[in-house]
Chain A
Amino acid sequence: MGYNLKSSVLPVETGDAPSSESRRSFLKIAALTGAVVSVSGRRALANGDIGFHAKDLSDEKLIEMYKTILKIRWHERTQADQMLTNPDYRGYNHFYAGQEAVATGVCANLRNSGPFDQIDLVYSSHRPSGHAIAKGVDIPKMCAENDFRATGLNGGYAAEMHLSDPSVGFIGADGMIGPAPVIASGSAFAFRARGSDQVAVVFAGDGNYAAPHFHSTLNNAKLLDLPLVYVMENNLYHQYAHYSYSCPHKDIADAAGAYGIPTKIVDGQDVLQVYNAAKDAVDRARAGGGPTFIEAKTYRYYNHWGAPGAKAGELGAFGYDPLAINSFRPEREVRAWMQRDPVDIARKILVDWGVLDEARAIEMEAEIKAEIEAAFAWANEQPLCTPEDGLKHVFTEGTVPARQFG
């Protein structure tokens, strides 16, 4: 246990410089020497043996990814501030701040719009807002849903842990630990059976490892060569317990490898590393090459649920979480991870590559912040639900009888 606790506090650094630094200058050298860009080298490789696909992205796509990270970040921060300062606000969240690069890097590889029988499907966890935004869910409607509004994404029936929007392939959040990966493998099974090149992606945390569903998913995905990408977001904690309480491996990918599935461990704070690994995985799945398991080493800046320990206007939660009872995250651990912030890393890459200058990048963040504030303002104006509507949507048509009055 001590082994895991000590060694997994920070992502393992291999000694390489941050992978995506200075693409433009590297590309110049590569062009001069005729070197194969993606095979070796100290600087430019995302993660050893996978392609550095992100170098081929257009400036527009890179900016779009940066904006997605910002949208997630400011959604989380704005909502945390609402919870902390607005007594009328009733929503809550399992905050995703700190993990933005994972959802963004993966979903940037997916088909997120178009006919339902052609888009890729994403299954999410009880920490879904980042996945939802990265997949293209309408943010104002999501904000309204999280505050139980009738015009919210799911009419006020779902709220945060059950968000879903099939129109963008976001099949949805699952409030339980276990079922989502297995169900995602079922969608992948259907794609394969009907000859579709769609891909199913599941985001699940380190807590899922211990559930039988984890093993069933990987076993069947491999047996049937399913077009499934399992994205394990290892943020070190399942609820309040360190993952060493539920998994004997330092790298959970080791367990996935035992099922004969290609695995990749990436720095989940670096959106391009995630992008590169996910591109390999999605391309493989689309081409009929079967499943891939990606373990993204990441961290959440807030406590498991809600905003205990957080202060309005400040990023992250460091204080006492009454729900943690006997297991607390060391404040130093939180602060250490915040030194490698996915927003900062993404911005630095774009500035280094000359895609944006620093001033524009900062300006862009202010624009996104305002956009998110507007989304929350719109959500706050939305109507509350009609009580009797609780009897609808049990079946396709009609309502069930009220029984609470006898």
Chain B
Amino acid sequence: MAQKSWMYSVLEAVQYEMQQDPAMTWIYELTPPVASNPGKPVINLETEFGRKRVVNTGIDESWMASAVLGAGLAGSRAATYIPYQGALMCFEVIQNVAGKLRHMTGGKASMPVVWIIEMTGQTPGFAGQHSCYEEDSYYAHIPGVRTVIPSTPYDAKGMMISALRSPDPVVYLYPAGLRTLTGEVPDEAYEVPLDKAAVRQEGSDITIVSSGGGMPGVLEAVETLTGEGMSVEVIDLRVLKEMDTETLVKSVAKTKRLLTVDQSYYTLCPGAEVIARVAENVDGARYKRVAFPDAPPPASPEMFVWMRPDADNIAGAARALV
């Protein structure tokens, strides 16, 4: 066990799986699979496994996404790291091929592949095209593809191990803002399930649900609210597909108040699905969504910072609901 960054934890998982499985491959563009961490050896997948297995390609996300799928269909586990550039350029093959293939083949297709899709855009000053926090909703909508979004270094490693071992294709959303987040992470390999939300704090007054890049703001708000005497239950979704309905329903059945927080756009944000699932199963609860407005993120920090949900917004919405 040691303090490790999110980024290091993820590559530690990949490194371990590649050491165990000489057929496994990694494809990247621009973002070398290199990470360092105080007190730990530098991980460099390219030098460790060679350029046949670890490939630096041109800026062609369509190929990257398709190539790992093809590798998976040929029986080799494969993963690719798709940075913010055009994260949705690979959408077609994930949505219209991988998502449908197992079903279309009557269960014959096996796809042990992982698309690591970076989410950027929480830094003020990067406008429009370099902000892609909305993509959680797009991937969560696809049947047949497991879509996960860790928010802690521990989960980042454990869910990467599980994703790489899953015979189902996995979209592993990677919030860039969390890259440098550190936490206690075991050195050995371990799995975190791909279908369970995490209750980060138990409480009885209100349930706040968020995921990925939304979690730090939620935790900050909850600290304030707890200090004010509010009893808050905090749920980190971790998985968008298939969403852990049971944990959500159980919580709101108790608190009767549900606040969802997303950095994604308001319309069809993950919180919308959370509220729908809870509303179908819990009577007499109150609901609220905090999300980015339905507007592209503007470059100006004044506009962007105001539009982005932050701890103050979350705390304010929680107070209004309780």
Contacts and interface: CB of A to CB of B under 8 A. Distances in A.
Interface in A207-244: 207-212, 238-241
B320 interface: yes
B303 A400 contact: no
Interface string B68-96: 00000000000000000110010000000
Q: Which 10 A-B pairs have the closest CB atoms?
A: A210-B58, A246-B58, A406-B317, A387-B306, A390-B303, A159-B299, A156-B300, A175-B129, A385-B300, A403-B266
A246 B57 contact: yes
Contact of A325 (B32, B58, B308): B32
Given A385-B300, A387-B306, 16 more contacts: A90-B301, A92-B125, A148-B300, A156-B300, A158-B299, A161-B127, A175-B129, A176-B86, A178-B89, A209-B58, A238-B59, A239-B30, A241-B29, A390-B293, A401-B293, A406-B313
A245 B127 contact: no
A406 B85 contact: no
Given A390-B300, A394-B296, A325 B34 contact: yes
Interface residues of A, number: 48
Interface stretch (B153-161, B235-243, B283-291): B283-291
B15 interface: no
Query: In this complex, which of A178, A209, A327 has the most chain B Cβ atoms within 10 angstroms of its Cβ?
Result: A178
Given A176-B85, A388-B306, A156 B289 contact: no
A404 B293 contact: yes
B58 A157 contact: no
B59 A208 contact: yes
A350 B39 CA distance: 60
26 contacts: A90-B301, A156-B299, A175-B129, A176-B86, A178-B59, A178-B86, A208-B59, A210-B58, A210-B59, A211-B60, A247-B58, A326-B32, A326-B34, A385-B302, A387-B305, A394-B295, A400-B293, A403-B266, A403-B289, A403-B290, A403-B291, A404-B292, A404-B309, A405-B290, A405-B316, A406-B317
Interface string B114-126: 0000000000011
B166 interface: no
Instruction: Classify the interface of chain B: helix, strand, loop or mixed.
Output: mixed
Interface in A302-348: 325-327
Contact of A212 (B57, B62, B126, B307): B62
Query: In this complex, which of B57, B291, B293, B296 has the most chain A Cβ atoms within 10 angstroms of its Cβ?
Result: B293
Interface string B17-34: 000000000000110101
Contacts of B300: 148, 150, 156-157, 159, 384-385, 390
Nearest to B287: A406
Contacts of A403: 266, 289-294
A247 B56 CA distance: 12
Contacts of A404: 290-293, 306-310, 313
Nearest to A206: B58
Query: In this complex, which of A148, A239, A327, A406 has the most chain B Cβ atoms within 10 angstroms of its Cβ?
Result: A406
A12 interface: no
Query: In this complex, which of B293, B300, B316 has the most chain A Cβ atoms within 10 angstroms of its Cβ?
Result: B300
A88 to B, nearest CB: 12
Nearest to A243: B58
Interface of A: 90, 92, 148, 150, 156-159, 161-162, 174-179, 207-212, 238-241, 245-247, 325-327, 384-391, 394, 400-406
Nearest to A173: B129
Interface in B265-279: 266
A402 B46 contact: no
Contacts of B298: 156-157, 385, 390
B271 to A, nearest CB: 10
Contacts of B314: 406
Nearest to A159: B299
Interface string B45-68: 010000000001111101100000
Nearest to B47: A326
A211 B46 contact: no
